[in-house]
Structure formats: structure tokens, C-alpha cells
Amino acid sequence: MAAFSSLTDRLSNAFKHLKSKGKLSEADIDGTIREIRRALLDADVALDVVRSFTGKVRERALGTEVSDALNPAQQVVKIVNEELTDVLGQGVDRPLNFAKNPPTIIMLAGLQGAGKTTMAGKLGAYCQKHFGKSPLLVACDVYRPAAIKQLQVVGEKLNLPVFEKGTQDPVITAQEAVEYAKRNMRDLVIVDTAGRLHIDSDMMAEIEKVRDAVNPAEILLVIDAMTGQDAVNAAKAFNDALELTGVIITKLDGDTRGGAALSVREVTGKPIKFCGNGEKLTDIEPFYPDRMASRILGMGDVMTLIEKAQESFDAKKAEELAKEDELILLCGHYEGVDQRIIDEWDMEEISIGDYILTGGELAAMVLIDSVSRFIPEVLGTKESATEESVYSGLLEYDQYTKPREYEGLAVPEVLLNGNHKLIHLWQYENSLRLTKERRPDLFAAYVEKAKDLTKDEKKILEEIVSKA
């Protein structure tokens, strides 16, 4: 099942009858609005949200931006897309709020079964990979059987430490965890609090005490996308009690309706910061309202796919893989690899770029070649693997080999005099010049971050920057 699949189908049907019309009447628009309203209600979107949303769409659809448009049907779809984006949180700051003085404390709250414990691990691993954080998971669910063990298993799989003190008072455990993090250079503390099957006063009182004890920078409500209107009611209650800073939607991969995501943001006024989209511990991604709106309308999510491809394989990843004792590369051909094999082996899928090859053999050869360079003693020195343009941020300098002269073209004299300092400065200047000419984006980034330069290097950089 795909997130919002039912809603996507219903909305697509709502727009079908518009495509053949060169001009839209008020009756056409009202008919479309009725279909949109039914689609949203069937998706379990809160009634107040439906009313507000369809009212805004109707008002804009009856205006000049549609009546004067060359393609009125497309303009209506554009309006719906923009209003969906607005409902989902357009213009809200997405990143997590990290504390100026570590550790940053993130507290997860929610009903039992929402996926808080698993999400604690997913969020920790995401922050470690993308923000360079050192997470500590804290087990403060002392009521649900095996809750602590579950967090320990998650932590072990992700190589993240777990702080637990059994059935000790969760408030004391949370306080001790923060002190432990300070002593052990852990700059991110993620507190997994207890949930209940239903909201009750005891549950809220305990969570409030934990919040007051550790003063978290983020209080994130974990909502199961498949709970529909119950998610909205829970969001209201938790927000009233805790003053949430954001929401995480789990199980979007299993919800064909998606009403919770559309409703929670509108009802609480708090941003949806992340979403869980699968059972793997890597299945977490930031929530982008504009991209989600495009998904709902069946327009796809090109940006997310591109980003996944871009981050899949680079020099850093190659260096990480080189540290493994053993690598098994499974290459698909034509149709790829059977999904059952991928699931059974819990395989990591790697892309070397955003294009299609006949098979994975060539991609595997690229990976093998890149990884092998980082294996000790493959290259003459360790520095040979890291003295590349991908590390410096500059394009590599011009290369010269034997003979000294070829068809009247000579090797630059500076490279022949044996003065290593002068040779280095020539190579540095050459790299700067080439990067500025061919990749001004890389050059600008290098200038901004350049540090630890020698006096001579600084002089050369200033000269290159000053040249038109």
C-alpha cells in the first residue's frame, strides 16, 4: 500500500471531467468541490479541516486566476496543490531545534502502538548520519511489557547506546540520563516515554513531570497514520498538555487514506517534522509539505527520489564500506532483484546515480574500484586516497608525465626543479584557477570554508578571488 493511495485515486477522478472543458462554469467547479469534499471525508480528514479547505479552494477557483487561465482544469489542480501544501504546513521551519548548549533533549510522546520506541531509534540514527550527532536513547516506558528490551534491541541494531534503570521512576531515569549524556559526550538525548491505549490523567501527569524535569528542546508527538480521527483527538490532548513542538507520522506506507496527516497539522498548528514510511530502521525521512501534496495529487515526488540517489554513494560511503570485513554485491539484470531476497537479507540498496543501466554489473565495478582504494596497502600511502578533489573541494590540477617535451609542448619548469614547496603552490594555484573557471559553485563553497591555509596559500587564494 502507498500513502494516500485512496485519496489520490479519488482526487484524480474528481478532476477527470474538467480536462475536456475549455471554460469552467460555477456548476463545474461546485461539482468538483463536492467530489473533493467526499474524497477528504472518506480519507478520514477532520470535518472542520475539510470545510476550511474546500471553502478556500472554491473561493480561488471562482476567481480570475481560473476564468482567465488558458487551461482552467490545470489551474484548479494547481490551486488544490497549493492549498494542500498550506494545510500540511507551508512556510514552517522543518529542521530540529538543537540546543546551543548540548545535550539536546528530544522527548517522544504518543499513544501505545504508535511506534514511539522504534521511532526513537530511527530518529537517533537519522540525526547521527545527517547532523553528526552522538545520540543516547533513554527507556522511560516502564509499564509496557518488554518496552525496555525493545528499545535495547533497536539500539543494538543501530549501534546506539541505551540508558535504562528498569522500573525506576521515569522522571528520575530521565534526569540521570541527561547527566550521563553530559559525562559521556553524548550531545543528543532521545527520551522514549510510556504510552497508553487511551489518553488518561495519570499518563499526562507523568509525561508533564518528565518534561519539567529535563526541559526538552523538542517535544514530538508520534502519531500512527492509520488511526484516523483518533489521531486528531490524541494530538489535541497532547498539545494542550505539553505544548508540542512538532509531530512525527508513522506507518504512512500502510495508510491508504492519509487523513491523519492532513488533519493533525491543521488542528494543532504544529509542523509535521518526520514521517516513517516502512519497517526498516532506515525508513524515516523529513516531511516536506510541498512534496507530500504532490504525492497526494498523483504528481510523484521527484525531489525525494533525486535526493536519495545523490546521498546513496559517495567517497564517504566508499570509505565506510572499505572498513567492512566482507562485502557481498548482488547485481540485478534487466528487471532487478526479487524483492523477497532484498527483504530476507535486509540488504542495503546502493545507487551510483540517477540514470538507468541494463544491469547492476557496471555499477558494482564502480563500487569495487572506489571501495578498494581505501583498503590499507592497496595504494602506496593512505594520503593517496584522500588527496583527491572530492576531499579538497577543488578540481584536480593539470597532470603532466614523461617525456619533458612532446611535439613542442613542454612540462612547466616549476615541476622539474625538485622544490616541493613551489610545486605544491603551483598545483594549488592551478586547482583554484580551474575550479573557478569550470565549477564556480565549488569555488564559492571552498572560499567560504577555506581554513588552515599557509601564508602563501592565503595570498594565492586572495589573488584568484580578486581576478575578474
For residue 191, give the nearest of 219, 212, 168, 167 by alpha carbon.
219
- Residue position matching grid coordinates 494516500: 4
For CATH 1.10.1270.20, the residue range(s) in the chain are 405-466
State what percent of residues in the chain have pLDDT above 90: 23
CATH of the structural domain 104-287, one choice from 1.10.3080.10, 3.30.479.30, 3.40.640.10, 3.40.50.300: 3.40.50.300
Task: Give DSSP secondary structure letters for 435-461.
Answer: HHHH-HHHHHHHHHH--S--HHHHHHH
Beta strand 284-286 with 272-276 is antiparallel
Alpha-carbon span 81 to 167, nearest angstrom = 48
**Confidence class of residue 442 from pLDDT cuts 50, 70 and 90?**
confident
Q: What is the DSSP letter of 87?
A: H
Q: Which of 10-19, 128-137, 198-207, 445-454 has the lowest mean pLDDT?
A: 10-19
pLDDT tens for each residue of 92-126: 555 788 888 889 999 999 888 888 999 999 999 99
Residue 363 cell numbers, joined: 555499477
Q: Where are the alpha helices (DSSP H) in 146-200?
A: 147-158, 170-183
Q: What architecture (CATH level 2) is domain 405-466?
A: Orthogonal Bundle (1.10)
pLDDT band at 306 (very low <50, low <70, confident <90, very high): very low
**pLDDT in the model for residue 90:** 60
Instruction: Pick the range with the lowest mean pLDDT from 40-44, 58-62, 138-142.
Output: 40-44
Query: For residues 174 and 208, what is the distance between their CA atoms, to the nearest angstrom?
Result: 12
More confident call, 170 vs 53:
170
Comparing 55-64, 140-149, 217-226, 384-393, the range with the smallest average pLDDT is: 384-393
Q: What is the pTM of this model?
A: 0.61
CATH topology of domain 5-88: Four Helix Bundle (Hemerythrin (Met), subunit A) (1.20.120)
Q: What is the DSSP letter of 163?
A: E
Delimit the CATH 3.40.50.300 region(s) of the chain: 104-287
| Interior/surface letters 292-305, b for 16+ CB within 10 angstroms, e for the rest | bbbbbbeeebeebe
Tell me: the pLDDT tens digits for 340-375? 776 677 677 777 776 677 888 888 888 888 888 888
Could you tell me the end-to-end alpha-carbon distance of the chain, in angstroms, rounded to an integer? Answer: 56
Give the pLDDT score at 332. 80
